[in-house]
Structures are given as structure tokens and as C-alpha cells.
Amino acid sequence: MIKGTKLLLVDDDADFRFSASVVLKRAGYEVSEAGNGMEALVKIVDARSRGEMFSLLVTDIRMPVMSGLKLLDELNRLGVRLPAIALTHSNEKDLVLDLAKRGCTELIAKPFEPWELLARLEDFLDGKALEEVPL
């Protein structure tokens, strides 16, 4: 874990967000939460406008209001390059390809325990650039 890593955790399951946030915060991450893709998009745009960019996006794929796929599309449309990990109940090949086209190369299949998310996150962050990459 790199000190000061700012994560945005996006999932429509409030209980999951709470338990995952507790584990991630205890591990030293700075965690913000959103309940859907639209809420996440607003937080990302607002943070960018203040010069406070997130280091990593962890998003569920299937959510009401705005899905994780649509969120990734909107970020790409706005020119926001942000490392992303997708969370989903599906591990279908087509979904993996769709995510890769959107710049998301990591998929974690649900269900999993919050500590498993932490372990996967740590593996993902090892050697990854953690700053938003300007276009």
C-alpha cells in the first residue's frame, strides 16, 4: 500500500460499502464512497475541479441509476484516466473484454470477503502508477 492512496468505492450495497471501507481504512487507505455510478461521477469531477484526484476506482458493474460500465464510459468521454477495478457477480469472457476496452483490466468476482478485496487491491497496486494520467 502506498501512503495516501485515495480510493473511490462504488457499490449500491450499503452494507458491503461499509464493511469494505472499514477494512480499507484500517489498512491506511483514504476511502470515499458512492452508491451508484452517477454519484461517483459527480465525486470524481468535483475532486478534479479542486485538484484532489482519486488514485483508484473500485466499482460494482451492475447498479441502479448508472452502471459501472456507463461510469467508465463517461470517465473516458471526459478524458479521465483512472486505474479501475470492477466488482461483479459475473466472470463472463464478454464482460472481461468490455471492461478491457474501457481501460479496466482487473475484475473481482463476487461474493468475496472485504479482506480478500484488500489483498487483491494490494496486488493490483504493486507496480501500478497511482496518479491520474492527464491526456
Q: Summarize pLDDT for 96-123 with one digit per residue, the tens.
A: 888 888 888 788 888 888 788 888 888 8
- For residue 29, count other CB atoms closer than 10 A to its CB: 24
Query: What is the torsional sign of CA 55, 61, 62, 65?
Result: positive
pLDDT recorded at residue 66: 92
**Cα distance between residue 131 and residue 15, in whole Å:** 29
Ranges of residues in the chain whose predicted pLDDT is under 70:
1-4, 90-93, 127-135
- The CATH number assigned to the domain with range 6-125 reads 3.40.50.2300
Position 103 scores a pLDDT of 82
Residue 61 grid coordinates: 458493474
C-alpha cell, 36: 451508484
Taking the C-alpha atoms of residue 1 and residue 25, their distance in angstroms, rounded to an integer, is: 11
Please state the domain extents for the chain: 6-125
